Each structure stands twice: as structure tokens, then as C-alpha cells.
Amino acid sequence: MSTLKAVRGTRDLLPPETALWNRIEETARRVFARYNFGEIRTPVFEDTALFARGVGEETDIVSKEMYTWEDRARAASEKSQSLTLRPENTAGVVRAYIEHKLGETGQLQKLYYIGPQFRRERPQKGRYRQFSQIGAEVIGPPSSGSESPLRDAEVLEMLATLLDELGITGWTLNINSVGSSADRARYNEVLRAALKDVAPKMCVDCQRRAVTNPLRVLDCKVPEDQPYIEALPKISDSLDEESKKHFAAVTAALDAAGVPYVRNHRLVRGLDYYTRTTFEFTHGGLGAQNALLGGGRYDGLSEAIGGPKAPGIGFAIGEDRLVLTLLAQETAAAAKVDAFLAPLGEELNPAALALARELRRAGLSAELGDGSFRLKKSFEAADKTARRIVILGEDELASGILTVKDFATGTQTKVPRAELAEFLRKSSGE
């Protein structure tokens, strides 16, 4: 008999990695509670029509990636029904919002979820057929302020805080606006016209998309196609005044809160329900599947699935990708020495050697720079080899207070020389 294995695209999670999954989920729950979110748990399978109408019949998810089956009636009182394993959770949350008449409370609903999703995609690093999302949705009647750009900025600020608290370093927030559905329809036509002459020179997928769904051309990753895509008209030029104003208010609030972002004109996302703000947090360490999370506004979704007007905004984090990023960071950190000593001037070299000897004798690993290096060169060398840099200048030598900068957290701390070894050991979690 052949041995049975986990199905392609699915995985077993074993200890000790499961401890990391639990830590991530605990941190997420703690941060969400601070922002007044409550947990919602919706079923893992739903009526297929929910995704067809909510996510969109034409999307890759609905047209090719869903696990759908005909559920046969078991009694005369039942009807056969087409069911689908949820490929995402936003449509299910909005269905529950409508079903339980949550809009009638008049309050903004702030709901989060953690759980498995299913898509029949081609498996690769960071892409699975069963994967886990940590997501949240803010939704309510217009009178609850659900349309306000402040909600968008608050959600993005919460995500920046969550990633920082998880210890994810080096993320980039990409944002864009896809406008109202009328703006998008207008842009689709503008793109279609612009692609008429260009598409024949592009890859076969783009040739097809140029006809079926021009927006998807913007997702193309084929290097030869990039110059053509960069030259295409931008969606920002097709937005009406209201959408432009809304987006400007989102970015102004992000600026005020000090959340860094880049405007990415090509970020249009692969689900049909989006309106106005769309975003993705990417991470360089993830390779081709570089989106840690994605989300945006969906002001028309409730009505599209038969509910009342209920604008909303939300996101879903790929938990598998969070874990991959944290594990890669840990491996990189483990390969680095505890501290890089940077003497400021050649006359400080002997003092630096003495300090290195102290640290090494205390069991810590240290790399020694050279006083002839400029500070910038010391920082570059330190960033490659060490977790922290310790600056040793005349002032430090005289006062006995050293400056330590941690590369992972970006924090700078003043530490008395006598406590340096202890400080380095403690902040390494040893």
C-alpha cells in the first residue's frame, strides 16, 4: 500500500514552530483589543453564490481557485446546494453583518478573525492551498462614520503597530486609491484603449488580460513588459474629486501619525469589491510572494450581496508569510555577532581592543572595527555582521557611557560601560 501524505499545498505545523504561531496570534489579539476590535468566527464553508457575488465572478479566485462541490440533499425537505470552502473571509463577515442585522445598532462594527482559507493556487514558498489569515473589518451604516478616511488611516496605523510589536523589520506600506466603481469603469476603458497598440508586444497573459480585464495587466511581473506598463495611464488620473479628496485625507492622517508609506499607482488588487483605498504591506525577504498582507475599502460589498448600505474597510494578513518572515529574521540574527565596536578615530583603537577583550571574555561575540573608518563605513560594516553597534569616542571614553544602537529595532540606548556585557546579553534574550 502506498503511504498517505498531506495533500499538495497543505502542511502539518509541528512544535517548536507552533509556539511561534501562538505567539503571533496572542500578539494580534492583544493589539486588536487595544483598538476595540472583537472576534468573529464564521463558518469555513459558505454558499458558493456569496463569493461569486462578493469577490467577483471574473476574479482569478472565483473563476479558477475555489474548492466548490455540489452538496446533495439528504432529505426531501433539503435542496442540493453548491458550497465552497472560503477562499477569504471578508465576504463571510459581511454576510454575517447583514444576517445578524448588526447595522441596526447604528454602531461601527470592528471585527477580527483568525483562521484557515482555501485557494487552489500553484503551491510555492509562501503560497499554499490551505493557509491562515489574521484579518479585521470595520463596517457600519454611513451614519456611524464608516466612510471616513480616518477609519482607513486608523486601520493602517494599527497594522504598522502590530508588525512592529511582532518584531517584523523592513516592511513597506504600499497604498493607492482605485476610486469609486464608476471611476474604475472609466479607468478600465482608458486602459483598454491604451493597450490596443501595446498589448501585442507584451506577454501572452497580458494580451489576454488587455481584452478580458485590463486592470490585471498592472500585476504583470514579466521584466520585458515593465517599460510598457510604466508608460500606461495611471488610475489617479481617472479619479473623481470626492475620491481624490478621500485619498488625500487618508495620507494626511498617516503623515500626522508618522506612519511611513509609498504610493503605488499599480496597486489595484485582485478582488472586485474594492473601492477607494487599497493597500499591501510587502517584505523583501519573502521573494516572489512578497505581500505580507493586503486590504482596502469595500463601500459597495454589502449591497452587492443583498444587504443595506454599509461601507467598510479591512485587511487580511497571511499568517504563514508572517511566520516565514520571523523565522528568516531569527536565522539572520543568529548568524550575527552580538556587537560591533566602532572606535571614532585611530587613537581610540587601543580602548576598543580593551573593550572587545572584556566582552569576549564575558562570553559575548564581538567584531572590532577600526578608528580609520568613517562613521558611515562603520555602520555599514556593523549592519552586515552584527546585531548592534557600540560607538566609542573621546566623550564615551571620558564619561564611561556608551551608545548602543540595535539594528533590528532601530533603538539607541546609553549604557554605562560596566553594564555593557549584561545589557547585550539581556537584549539578546539570553
Positions touching ligand HAM (CB under 6 A) are 88-90, 119, 121, 126-128, 131, 133, 135, 137, 271, 291-296, 298, 314-316, 318, 320-321
Closest CA to 166 of 279, 334, 22, 39: 22
Helix ranges (H only) for 43-148 are 48-51, 60-64, 90-99
Rounded to a whole number of angstroms, the minimum distance from the CB of residue 51 to ligand HAM is 11
Of 37 and 315, the one with the shorter C-beta distance to ligand HAM is: 315
Of 322 and 344, the one with the shorter C-beta distance to ligand HAM is: 322
Of 229 and 286, the one with the shorter C-beta distance to ligand HAM is: 286
Rounded to a whole number of angstroms, the minimum distance from the CB of residue 415 to ligand HAM is 38
Rounded CA-CA distance 356/379 in Å is: 17
Of 154 and 320, the one with the shorter C-beta distance to ligand HAM is: 320
Rounded to a whole number of angstroms, the minimum distance from the CB of residue 306 to ligand HAM is 19
Closest CA to 352 of 293, 413, 393: 393
Closest CA to 82 of 56, 52, 117: 52
List phi, psi (to 5°) of 282.
-110, 160
> Which residue is closest to ligand HAM by CB?
318
Contact 216, 191 (CB under 8 A): no
Determine how many CB atoms are found less than 10 A away from the CB of residue 90: 26
Rounded to a whole number of angstroms, the minimum distance from the CB of residue 103 to ligand HAM is 17
Contact 319, 114 (CB under 8 A): yes
Determine how many CB atoms are found less than 10 A away from the CB of residue 189: 12
Of 99 and 419, the one with the shorter C-beta distance to ligand HAM is: 99
Of 66 and 292, the one with the shorter C-beta distance to ligand HAM is: 292
Contact 88, 132 (CB under 8 A): no
Rounded to a whole number of angstroms, the minimum distance from the CB of residue 57 to ligand HAM is 16
Rounded to a whole number of angstroms, the minimum distance from the CB of residue 138 to ligand HAM is 9
